[in-house]
Amino acid sequence: MRIATWNVNSITARLPRLLAWLESTGTDVLCVQETKCAEAQFPAERLRELGYESAVHATGRWNGVALVSRIGLTDVVKGLPGGPEYEGVAEPRAVSATCGPVRLWSVYVPNGREVGHDHYGYKLAWFEALRAAVTEDAAGLLPFAVLGDFNVAPADDDVWDLSRFEGATHVTPAERAALAALREEGLSDVVPRPLKYDRPYTYWDYRELGFPKNRGMRIDLVYGNAPFAGAVKDSYVDREERKGKGASDHAPVVVDLDL
């Protein structure tokens, strides 16, 4: 089976590319982030025409996540259990479901904005709630994975120029410790192949020729438990989807499994 995660930066703006991509790649399950629409505006019918069911957790112009599956979609949980609120709002940043043989989460971790900002504390609290929420499944015998935009570059090599990130979010020890805490629960980082250049970046800023100059970051991650990671045949970043007019600033991460 083939699963993938993709921060689409508006599913409405990305719909033509998304539908064509699902068909051309034969993806069985797609974890979507930044739908940027209300749940009622989610293009569930268009996806159904292609044979996909959708589980959507979205409220409006910001955030929003979904799971899109053609191999079943059951036991849907919307939201992060025990997750923190930001300015009194429980934002739609997580949805989980069982798709065929695997249990999956699609997550959009808060950005953090600036180190020391309220949003940064919120980001770390959100990570801790995620860790607590996945403990049981991470240690379980069934294939399980958390996929999405984690908004953290796990290692120095995961950003194009570390000197440009001095004092910035996405690379701080506290954020990386939050990823390490997830790994200590039994999840491992399924690192994709790059299809060009030496690093598997998944995000390139729209500004200043970020993509043509390969000024990227690896922040879209697949964290799988042992049964999941052991079934991985291949994984790659589909940088072709970052090209051209109407691209998201993130590329899909694809994982092929013997399941």
Partner DNA sequence: ATGGCCAATTCGATTGGA
Query: Which residue ranges make up the annotated binding site for Mg(2+)?
Result: 7, 34, 149, 151, 249-250
Amino acid (one-letter) located at 131: R
Q: Which residues contact 25 (CB under 8 A, 6 or more apart)?
A: 2, 4, 238, 254
> Is residue 164 close enough to count as binding DNA by CB under 7 A?
no
Residue 13 and residue 63: Cα distance in Å, rounded?
14
> Is residue 12 close enough to count as binding DNA by CB under 7 A?
yes
Specify the residue, 103 or 170, whose C-beta has the smaller distance to DNA.
170
Beta carbon of residue 238, minimum distance to DNA (angstroms, whole number):
13
Figure out which of the listed residues 25, 46, 111, 128 binds DNA, where binding follows CB under 7 A. 111
DSSP state, 78? E
Contacts (CB under 7 A) with DNA, residues 197-236: 203, 205-209, 211-212, 217, 219
Contacts (CB under 7 A) with DNA, residues 56-75: 60-62
Q: Quick one: 161 exposed, middle or buried, by C-beta within 10 A (0-12, 13-18, 19+)? A: exposed
Specify the residue, 87 or 258, whose C-beta has the smaller distance to DNA.
87
Residue 149 annotated in active site:
yes
> Is residue 128 close enough to count as binding DNA by CB under 7 A?
no
- Of the listed 28, 137, 149, 238, which one is catalytic? 149
Separation in Å, CA 82 to CA 51, 79, 131, 224? 33, 9, 11, 21
> Is residue 243 close enough to count as binding DNA by CB under 7 A?
yes
Figure out which of the listed residues 2, 13, 71, 215 binds DNA, where binding follows CB under 7 A. 13
The annotated binding site is made up of 7, 34, 149, 151, 249-250
Which H or E run contains 47?
helix 44-49
Specify the residue, 113 or 233, whose C-beta has the smaller distance to DNA.
113
Beta carbon of residue 58, minimum distance to DNA (angstroms, whole number):
10
Number of C-alpha atoms within 13 angstroms, CB side, residue 48? 6
- Interface region with DNA, contact rule CB under 7 A, candidates 30-38, 48-56, 67-75, 228-236: 30-38
Residue 219 and residue 228: Cα distance in Å, rounded?
20
Residue 27 and residue 52: Cα distance in Å, rounded?
10
Residue 32 and residue 244: Cα distance in Å, rounded?
20
Residues in touch with DNA (CB under 7 A): 7, 9-10, 12-13, 34, 36-38, 60-62, 110-111, 113, 119, 149, 151, 169-170, 196, 203, 205-209, 211-212, 217, 219, 243-247, 249-250
